[in-house]
Amino acid sequence: MALDRVIALIFLLICVVYGYNAYFVMDELLPPFMRNNPIWPSTFPKVLSALGILVSLTIVLGIEKSNHTAEVAEINYRKLTEYKLGQAISLLLLMVFYAFALRPIGFLVSTTVFLVAGSAILGERRWGIMIIVSVIAAGFVWYLVDQVLGIFMRPLPWFLS
């Protein structure tokens, strides 16, 4: 089995477990007054799991590959060292750092650092543009979530708020 299909199969299993939790576990925990609402807290996870299952099934079953297109280079697991694994692992570690840094450092600082560092890992070298875009994006997302949706997120480090 090709590497892309193995990864899609693992992703399919994750989406099935996530969907099971969204459809059955999360809905049982709802208080009675929320059961009459048209949109539940589990609505978005249900949509995500259904879309993830559809996408992974198209890859596992080979539906996305067409006979009319040119041959696309497949991932060769014997040549994994030739791919940019350093960038991928660095991004994964950066995501873990971002998750741990959200509470103590605050949303604005941690998101800005995450976006700047992530774009630097991927090869962007225009530091001025990276910093400006990261600050604007972090501020815009914080404003939408905190002010528009009313979900509190600590914007600054704990010692400044």
> What is the per-residue pLDDT across 109-157, written as a single tens digit (0 to 9) for each?
999 999 999 999 998 889 999 999 999 999 999 898 888 877 777 777 7
CA atoms of 44 and 133, how far apart (whole Å): 28
CA atoms of 20 and 14, how far apart (whole Å): 10
Q: pLDDT digit string (tens) for 46-83? A: 899 999 999 999 988 888 776 555 455 666 767 777 77
Residues listed for the chain: 161
Q: What is the pTM of this model?
A: 0.57
Contacts of residue 63, defined as CB under 8 A and 6 or more positions apart, other chains included, come to 57
CA distances from 18 to 9, 52, 103 (A): 14, 10, 25
Mean pLDDT throughout 1-6? 79
CA atoms of 158 and 161, how far apart (whole Å): 6
Going from N- to C-terminal start, the domains of the chain cover 3-81, 85-148
- Structure tokens that stand for 22 in this block: 């969204």
